[in-house]
């Protein structure tokens, strides 16, 4: 009985009235949904940053490749001028 009262007082201190258990369950469900939503947002941001980094790397590689392909060749043919 003492443990139940201690838990009840702790919840009341946190702003949760245990006299209405459905309300408490709804509040915990809301917190869980916020937690999962924030986790999803974090994953989307990480994927966006990684995608931007990979795209930037590919762009730099492709730009360098095009520039080296367009540069005039300075290698002369053997025996020629």
pLDDT digits (tens, 9 = 90+) for 34-62: 999 999 999 999 999 999 999 999 999 99
b/e 12-29 (16+ beta carbons within 10 angstroms → b)? eeeebeeeeeeeeeeeee
Q: How far apart are CA 4 and CA 58, in angstroms?
A: 61
pTM of the model: 0.61
Do residues 18 and 8 make contact, with C-beta atoms less than 8 angstroms apart? yes
């Amino acid at each position: 009985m003492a443990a139940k009262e201690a838990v009840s007082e702790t919840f009341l201190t946190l702003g949760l009235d245990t006299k209405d258990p459905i309300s408490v369950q709804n509040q915990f469900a809301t917190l869980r949904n916020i937690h999962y939503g924030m986790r999803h947002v974090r994953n989307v941001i990480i994927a966006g940053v990684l995608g931007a980094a990979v795209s930037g790397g590919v762009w730099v590689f492709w730009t360098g490749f095009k520039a080296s392909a367009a540069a005039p060749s300075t290698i002369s043919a053997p025996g020629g001028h």
